[in-house]
Structure 1
Amino acid sequence: MGRPTGSRNRPSNMPAPRGLPAFPSRGRSTLLLARLLGAGRGFARARSGAGAVEFALLAVPFLLLLCVVVEAAMMTLSQQTLDSAVDRATRALRTGAFQDAADGNDPAGRLRQVMCGRAAVLFRCQDLKLDVMRGTSFASVRPAEPYDSQRKDWAPSFGSTFQCPLGGDIVALRAAVPVLRLFNALDFTRHPMGANSQLLVATAIFSTEPYSGKSCQ
């Protein structure tokens, strides 16, 4: 009696009976599954273009922050050099050394040279304006305001007063200078001026030594 010819004992390379679907063998199924899994892992690892997208998302805020840092650093250094220049002028006026060096020239121009002549500054010294006022008490000395907030420009009267200090006077020295503003959106001094600049101001009020017989011209 012959063996039954069921599908269980049919060789794997024998075509399936008509009307039944042909299923792949176990070896082919394993290979196909491995290929699908490999393709999925490769797709998950694919990051081409991700760096460009991340850079585009972070570049704008990073550049804005960098601009703020650069602008703040330049303004801080410029203000520091202006304060140092006012300190040099204050020392010369307080001790009378400025009056001793009088040569008949404009005292405001000579004092500007004292402020800028022998030190590095981060502003144009020819743009510097200053007022020197003297009095008998600290309450009586009121330095002029250099900035006109309505016109956003120089106050018309600033830079025209130079009262030569005498011994024992109370003196107010105020200096102002416009500096370049790199980014118009930033305003650190609240004194914006034309031509992309901001006005820096430094003031010193002091008492001179009790010298006598000295003149600024």
Structure 2
Amino acid sequence: MLCDRMRGTRRLWAEARRLMVASEGSTAVEFALIALPFFVVLLAIFQVAIIFLAQHELETAVEKTARGLLTGQTQQANMTQQQFTNSVCVNLPALFTCSNLMVDLQTAGAFSSADTSAPTLTYEGGKVANAWKFDTGASGSIMVLRVMYQFPVLPGLMALNLSNLANGSRLLMASAVFQAESY
């Protein structure tokens, strides 16, 4: 009986040793431990990349549209604010919804007084209530063009909060300051 107990104990220790050195499922367990943080970081990288792409596309669209103001084509065509906003929208990719663009165009007395800062947005019923100026100026005027867009972002993942507005979106803004040519 003592021998049976000793054999049983030896067998139990041998089984325990075998389990301690077994590595058949270790890869799956290790992946399970790092999968969530890995995918969250990957998602954050994609979100930042999309925001940089959207910002670049907005700046490019503003640059292309400002050219019409610079050369006087917009002024000579007597474009309305909506027509001008549509011309900005034509230069934007699918990342943007044209109805959410905010265009502020005004003249400045001097380059040093040109306001290119981001405005404080006010909301009424969930919509932006700011009144944007649209002054195409005259030949030789110093123009300040600001185009803004509320870009939707994912909520803060792992303390990475990319929103800079109270509604959880990110305000993208591109501006151009130039003096209109003689036309």
Q: Please state whether the residue corresponding to 2:113 is helix, strand or coil.
A: coil
The residue number in structure 1 matching 2:169 is 197
The residue number in structure 2 matching 1:165 is 137
Correspondence 1:187 to 2:161: yes
- TM-score, with structure 2 as normaliser: 0.77
Alpha-carbon contact 1:90-1:173 (below 8 Å) kept: yes
Please list every run of 5 or more consecutive structure 2 residues that lacks an aligned counterpart in the other structure.
1-10
Q: Once the 2 structures are TM-superposed, how far is the Cα of residue 42 of structure 1 from its aligned partner? A: 5.5
The residue number in structure 2 matching 1:73 is 49
Correspondence 1:146 to 2:123: no
Q: Identity of paired residues, percent?
A: 30
Determine which structure has more spread, i.e. the larger CA radius of gyration.
Answer: 1
Q: C-alpha distance in 2, partners of 1:54/1:121?
A: 39
Q: C-alpha distance in 2, partners of 1:65/1:45?
A: 32
Q: Once the 2 structures are TM-superposed, how far is the Cα of residue 111 of structure 1 from its aligned partner? A: 1.2
The residue number in structure 2 matching 1:16 is none
Q: C-alpha distance in 2, partners of 1:52/1:121?
A: 39
- TM-score, with structure 1 as normaliser: 0.66
Superposed CA RMSD in Å reads 3.2
Distance 1:155 1:118, change over 3 A: closer
Q: C-alpha distance in 2, partners of 1:163/1:144?
A: 18
Q: Please state whether the residue corresponding to 2:40 is helix, strand or coil.
A: helix
Matches within 5 A, 1:21-170: 43=19, 46-102=22-78, 107-143=80-116, 145-148=118-121, 156-157=129-130, 159-170=131-142
Alpha-carbon contact 2:102-2:147 (below 8 Å) kept: yes
Write the letter of the residue equivalent to 1:51.
Answer: T
Q: C-alpha distance in 1, partners of 2:154/2:53?
A: 14
How many residue pairs match? The answer is 172
CA deviations 1:11-58 (Å, max 9, x no partner) are: xxxxxxxxxxxxxxxxxxxxxxxx9xx979865652132122101221
Q: Please state whether the residue corresponding to 1:99 is helix, strand or coil.
A: helix
Distance 1:148 1:69, change over 3 A: same
Q: Once the 2 structures are TM-superposed, how far is the Cα of residue 156 of structure 1 from its aligned partner? A: 4.4
Alpha-carbon contact 1:170-1:208 (below 8 Å) kept: yes
Distance 1:48 1:128, change over 3 A: same
Alpha-carbon contact 1:131-1:160 (below 8 Å) kept: yes
